[in-house]
Structure 1
Amino acid sequence: MHPARTRFLFCLAFIACATSVGAAVYLQFTYNLTPCLLCHVQRALLLACALICLAASVHGPTTLRTWHRYALALLVMALLGAGVAGAHIGSQTSSPEQLALAVTHVKEGFSLLALPAWGGILEHALLSCAEINWSLFGISLPEWSLLAFVGAILLALYLLLVEIPRKILPNDQTLV
């Protein structure tokens, strides 16, 4: 793996993730948009992706295994974020009946875990997540977050599937 190119890609990914979180915070305070529970989780996962990318670009490891670990960590965080963003988009695009059914399943699950108070808190949080407060070009904030996570997934897959085999092939002509 070419360290300079890989560090540059991680640096670009850090800038993209940090800009996404910064834009969400800017919109929150400028337009008084109150973030819901899933918005907070998405921001935390975007920050985790940003910190992984920052650590990889600043650290600049010399071994292939360490680059591989950074790419895997980015992939895991981005997949989690894409899942949360997908659930958020699903709650925004579902009908009220479907949303009510999902909320009752969540409440039942927490009552089975002997946490009935959490069920009520999550019911309010999930119902507030169904509102679309802001959009740009017809795309809501969770959809923009999903695009950012998909970009991070593509970067991690590129690093894992293209950059690492490119480095391995010239040395021993075999794929590992």
Structure 2
Amino acid sequence: MTSLRRWRVRQWSLAGLAFCVLMMAVALFLEHVVGLAPCPLCIFQRVAVLSAAAVFLVAALHDPAGRLGAGVYGALSLAAVLGGVGVAWRHLWLQSLPPDEVPSCGPSLDYMMDILPLQEVVSMVLSGSGECANIDFLFLGVSLPGWTLVGFLVLALAPLGLLYRSWIVERR
């Protein structure tokens, strides 16, 4: 624990970025090697991972020395991670519905992006569709959104480390 207190913004950010890369590598492996096509909610979870990765990358390159920088990067990356937690939670909820309560399948995400404004696309995707309720893959009895939720919770340690650095460590 003592060594974690000494971590600078760059170290926390590189740890978060590495975990984002790991999460995306697993997602791309499952898509391109195993053959699992991502549903719209899976794609939104990937956007959350990439958003957090972008914040971590900028934070690592910038490596601010003061409390403000660590706090801003911690808050931004935590917002991206919490967005991912929310989408993964929603995805798990859809998968837990009884078959007669699952919403019907809607149009593909590509089609919606072509014809609808972004706000409507987000609203429609988050309301869910039948394809997001399908459980195509289980590992140790947990579906992919469950593992993604676990990944986001682990990933949250990096922004929390940044916030800890800005609130506690930098005050000394």
Q: What interval of TM-score do these two structures reach, taking the shorter chain for normalisation?
A: 0.7 to 0.9
Is 1:90 the counterpart of 2:93 in the alignment? yes
**Contact 1:74–1:152, Cα closer than 8 Å, also in 2:** no
Is 1:25 the counterpart of 2:28 in the alignment? yes
Alpha-carbon separation, structure 1, partners of 2:9 and 2:53: 15
Alpha-carbon separation, structure 1, partners of 2:156 and 2:79: 8
Alignment coverage as a number of residue pairs? 152
User: Residues 29-63 of structure 1, C-alpha deviation per residue, up to 9 Å, x if partnerless?
Assistant: 11211110000000111011111112111221233
Q: Which amino acid aligns with 1:166?
A: I
Alpha-carbon separation, structure 2, partners of 1:13 and 1:135: 26
Instruction: Please tell me the root mean square deviation across aligned C-alpha atoms, in Å.
Output: 2.7
- Which position in structure 1 is the counterpart of 2:114? none
Is 1:151 the counterpart of 2:154 in the alignment? yes
**Contact 2:13–2:57, Cα closer than 8 Å, also in 1:** yes
For residues 12-91 of structure 1, the aligned pairs below 5 Å read: 12-91=15-94
Alpha-carbon separation, structure 2, partners of 1:139 and 1:51: 28
Question: Shift of the alpha carbon at 1:152?
Answer: 2.6
List runs of 5+ in structure 1 lacking aligned partners.
104-116, 171-176
Q: Which is richer in helix? A: 1
> 2:13 pairs with 10, 15, 22, which one?
10
Of the structure 1 ranges 67-76 and 6-15, higher mean CA displacement relative to structure 2 is found in 6-15
List runs of 5+ in structure 2 lacking aligned partners.
107-119
Alpha-carbon separation, structure 2, partners of 1:18 and 1:52: 13
**Contact 1:27–1:33, Cα closer than 8 Å, also in 2:** yes
Q: Secondary structure at 2:102's aligned position in 1?
A: helix
- Which position in structure 1 is the counterpart of 2:165? 163
1:60–1:86 CA distance, 2 compared to 1 (3 A): same
User: Residues 37-93 of structure 1, C-alpha deviation per residue, up to 9 Å, x if partnerless?
Assistant: 000000111011111112111221233211111100011111111000000011111
Task: Compute the TM-score of the two structures, normalised by the length of structure 1.
Answer: 0.75
Question: Shift of the alpha carbon at 1:8?
Answer: 1.2
Alpha-carbon separation, structure 2, partners of 1:80 and 1:122: 14
